[in-house]
Each structure stands twice: as structure tokens, then as C-alpha cells.
Chain A
Amino acid sequence: MATSAHKHPNYMAIFWWLAILTVVELAVVFMPLSKITIGVLLCALALAKAALVAAYFMHLKFETKTLTWIAFTPLALAIMLMFILMPDSFAVAKKTEGGKAAATAPAKH
């Protein structure tokens, strides 16, 4: 059967971590920090939460390495896509800048 001992991590501990990280995320939004810092912090917190869910709730930590590679493929593809589309994005931002010089697009939130 698939019920070996290593398959039961402390789920409640993971739950509390996820809850605490969510509260931290909400706190970060209202912190007097620069937009970039807040952005980086939020991305890091979201990835940490996602990693907790995948590793423990989805048992990825206890599966074969190859399965982890399968799970990471979409993340790699999404990041590649961002870089592929970025030049277009900057081009559009530059074009619209002419009309609205005051608003520098990428920094705006």
C-alpha cells in the first residue's frame, strides 16, 4: 500500500506556515517600502507558499526526482515566456509614453 510512514508530514504545521505567510503578505503590501522591494518580497512569499503546498500537501518532497522536474517545467516555461515577450512590452510602453509622458509605465502600480 501507498501508506508508508514518511508520507505523513505535520500537516498542521504546514497550515500555520501558510496562514502566517499570508498575513505577512498582507502586511508587506502596506509597509512603507519601495514598490520594487514590495514586489520582490511578495513574489518570494508567494513562491515560498507554493513550494510548501507542492512539497508537503502534494508530497512532491517524497516522490522521485523526475516528478519534481515535471512539476518545475511549467515554471521554467512561464519565466522564459516573460523574457520572450519583454522586448514587445517595452516597445509598446515606449510608444505610449509619447502621449502620456508623465506616466512611465513599468514603474507604475
Chain B
Amino acid sequence: MSAATHVSTHAVEPAETPLTPESWGKLGMWIFLAGDAVGFGVLLAGYGIMRASSADWPNPYDTLGINLTAAMTFLLICSSVTMVKALEWLGKGDRRRCVNYLLYTAIGGLIFVSLQAYEWTHLIHRGLLINGNPWGASLFGTTFFLVTGFHGLHVSGGVIYLLSIMRWVLNRPDPAASYNAVEIVGLYWHFVDLVWIMVFTFMYLL
């Protein structure tokens, strides 16, 4: 009985997964991201179809303006770099630098959402609403707020996720103990960056 208890407390997970030998969590994150990508894929595909079947779709880069969003894209790419740096430093055993870079990444995300809030306010003042706008098809506003809003929520969630992993690293003296957690939050963050690359291209540039 006691032997069985002993085994059950230590064999929390089988030795390794066939896909991600490092941890099950990583496989879990990949499967979550694949599902999330279907969500974004459906939104963007739906956007494309609605736009293609509309006769008076406004020209996105004339109405939305792309200077600010180009800067936001660049910011998100930079935050991806600070994210890989965080993992790199943790791999070298430097927890302090890892925490710093995680913080830079979170700040990058925070500035991104703030700029998005600024952009939304600006556009709403110019008349872009979720149910109509001065330039043409009302679905233009609907899809714009839905897709960029869904992405903005992902960034906001990512900032909270990053900050909690920062705490996780701070609470564990052994760098090896938090390597998987940092790698997994990195996967999520890069995914958010990847999705923005798509959103920026399809909703602002095309």
C-alpha cells in the first residue's frame, strides 16, 4: 500500500512524450495553440469571404492608417526577441537576467495594448463603429474590432501569463526548475506575434 502511494506520487507523468521529450506541458501548449490558430483562421477566413462578397468595402490602409500599426508590429517583433533572450539566459543559469527580459517582454505587450487602445479611440472618434462607418460596408467595422480585439485580448492575457511566470522563476532558486515554464510561455508569446503578422497583413495592408 505504502509502496503504491510512493509510486503514485512520483509518477506524476510518464517519463516522456513521443512528441516533446522535454515536457508534457509543451505538447499541451502546442495543441492549445493549434486550436487557437483555428479560431484566428476562422475569423480571418470569414473576414476574407465577407470582404470578397461586399461591393463597398472601404480601403483599409486609407481609412485605418498603417504608420502606428507598423510601429506596433515592430514592437511585437522586438518583444519576441526579448522573450527568446529570457529563455537563453535561463538556459545559461542566469535567473536575474531571465526575469529582466521577461519583464521587458511584458512591458512590450503592455505598450502594444495601450497603442491599440489609442488607435481604437482615434478610429471610433472618426466614426468607425462596430455596426457602421462613414466609408462603406458596416461589416468593415465589425470584423476590424472583432479580429483586432480578439488578438488584443490574447496580448493582454499574455502579459498576465508572462508576469506570473516571472514570479514562478523568482520563487525557484534552481534555474532548471523553471526552464520548461519559460519555454512554454515563450511559445504562447511567439504565437501571438505570429498571429499579429497575419492580422496586420490581411486587415491593414491588403
Secondary structure of the A contact surface, majority rule: helix
The residues in B between 1 and 48 inclusive whose CB is less than 8 angstroms from any CB of A are: 18-20, 22-23, 27, 30-31, 33-35, 37-38, 40-42, 44-46, 48
CB of B20 within 8 A of CB of A53, answer: no
Q: Within residues 80 to 127 of chain B, which ones have a CB less than 8 A from any CB in chain A?
A: 80-81, 83-85, 88, 91
Check A96–B55 contact: CB distance below 8 A.
yes
Q: Are A78 and B70 in contact (CB under 8 A)?
A: no
The reply to whether A105 and B31 contact each other, CB–CB distance below 8 Å, is no
Rounded to whole Å, the gap between the CB of A37 and the closest CB of chain B is 12
Contact of B66 with A100 in the complex, beta carbons under 8 Å:
no
Q: A25-B201, A46-B197, A54-B194 are in contact. Are A82 and B49 (CB under 8 A)?
A: yes
**What residues of B have a CB within 8 angstroms of the CB of A96 in the complex?**
53-55
- Bound complex: CA A24 to CA B24 (Å): 39
Is A33 in contact with chain B by the CB < 8 A criterion?
no
Which of B31, B52, B74, B205 is close to A29, meaning CB atoms less than 8 Å apart?
Answer: B205
B117-139 contact mask (Cβ, 8 Å, vs A): 1 or 0: 00000000000000000000000
Instruction: Say yes or no for B190: interface residue by CB 8 A criterion.
Output: yes
Of B34, B42, B74, which one neighbours A19 at CB under 8 angstroms?
B74
